[in-house]
Amino acid sequence: MNQLRPSVIVTAAAATPKAIAEQLRQAVEQAKWQTGRITVSVGIASAIKTDNETTILQRADKALYASKENGRNLITHSIDVTSI
């Protein structure tokens, strides 16, 4: 089975996690897939000193749900979401 994989080249201008995720999202969206159109929703959270595995994953999960609730095919950082 032949699988197509999009190429993602991270540029110096895209040094933030959100910018890197956006490049990945665009690459997936623009790639030609055998199954048709594929999109990606991503939730990002940056670690803070008081974080543990659970708290950082909770914030990333809430950011992911915000991406899906706001139209899908989006990148959302936890700092962009109120009530996290």
Residue 46 · residue 17 · CB < 8 Å: yes
Residue 81 · residue 60 · CB < 8 Å: no
Instruction: Identify the CA nearest to 68 among candidates 53, 81, 84.
Output: 81
pLDDT of residue 44: 93
Q: Please, which pLDDT band fits residue 6 given cuts at 50, 70 and 90?
A: low
Can you list the domains of the chain with their CATH numbers?
12-80 (3.30.70.270)
> pLDDT per residue over 9-51, tens digit each?
555 555 688 888 998 999 999 999 899 999 999 999 988 899 9
pTM: 0.75
